[in-house]
Amino acid sequence: WKSQIEKTHPTPLDPETVLQLRPEWIEAESEARSAEASSKSARSGLLPEIAARVSYGWTKDPNYSTDFNEGWEGALTLTVPLFSGFRDYAGYRVQAETARAAEMRMEGVKRDVTSEIRAGPSRFEIARKTALDREGILKASKRLYQDNLSRFRQGRATSDELKTELDRYLKIQLGT
């Protein structure tokens, strides 16, 4: 398996593709879209409204005539938010700041995910080297065990001596 580990190399990843699949990115993106829509909706409360109404029909004036009159009727209305403008502006500013904070969070998530992707190959290389080092330690431990078992069976070492040697070996390998 050592040769398999030595042959293994990290797969290059496209940061944009990985970013689109990350749940925290999807959450931040939808939060930013929602906040932007709320901001636009709040801004519409600051603008004047124009309403037009047109109708066609038959009318009868009961005071003057018994006949119906055919006619068009229309109205154009302009509403300017003078007295509610300050309240609407304050609401708009809150929504605009919320949208800006959501955009900043989205940029932060993008930066974090991108740096995580860039650090991936070096973490992979560290894990690969660690696995290779541990494979060497495992082989040395196996040789030591076989040698100690042979010495013990031949009566050349006591169990206390073997335990002392094993403890010393483990301390060296574990770095304690």
Predicted confidence (pLDDT) per residue in 145-161, tens digit: 888 888 888 888 888 88
Which of 94, 67, 91 has its CA nearest to residue 81? 91
Whether 86 and 114 have beta carbons less than 8 Å apart is answered as no
pTM of the entire structure? 0.51
76 forms beta bridges with: 52
pLDDT tens, position by position, 117-152 = 877 778 888 888 888 888 877 887 888 888 888 888
Model confidence at 78: pLDDT above 70: yes
Alpha helices, DSSP H, located in the chain: 2-7, 15-21, 23-44, 85-153, 159-174
Three-class DSSP category at 79: strand
Give residue 35's pLDDT. 93
3-state class (DSSP) for residue 35: helix
